[in-house]
Amino acid sequence: MKSYELNLTEYSIEIDKVVVKDKKRTTEKAEEVVDIKKELADLLRIPGTYKNGVESFDGMMLGREIRACEEDSLTISEDELRVLKMVMDELISREHNPAKNLISLGGPRYEEMIIRVYGLGRD
């Protein structure tokens, strides 16, 4: 069975931050650090992304492995990569509706994460 090295180093993104200056709301460019370990582990815990208990178990165990990892990368199996991609596929394609607390993966915050995960196994 193949294994893959998942890069878990933090990365930075540029965001527009709302600030108040002279009693007026305005935006400024700011840098935000994304903790990919926390983000991936949290994604693997989102309700409604699994079809059954076995998939849920596999995803949650992978999430625990990612959270517990103290290195900058984690070796994952082909099966673990399949589970991670399955969850991310579900979240990428879902309706984006913050009012219902539904987010879809995309945009600057998740771009690097998507590239890292879906780039694994591509030669």
Q: Rounded to an integer, what is the distance from CA 77 to the centroid of its chain?
A: 18
Q: Which residues contact 97 (CB under 8 A, 6 or more apart)?
A: none
Asked if 16 and 24 count as a contact pair (C-beta separation under 8 A), the reply is no
Q: Which residue has the tokens 């991936």?
A: 40
Rounded mean pLDDT of the chain? 93
pLDDT in tens, 30-82: 999 999 999 999 999 998 899 999 999 999 999 999 999 999 999 999 999 99
- Predicted confidence at residue 122, as pLDDT, reads 81
Q: Which residue has the tokens 């030669």?
A: 123
User: Model's pTM, two decimal places?
Assistant: 0.86
- Predicted confidence at residue 103, as pLDDT, reads 82
**Residue from 34, 74, 80 nearest 60 by CA:** 80
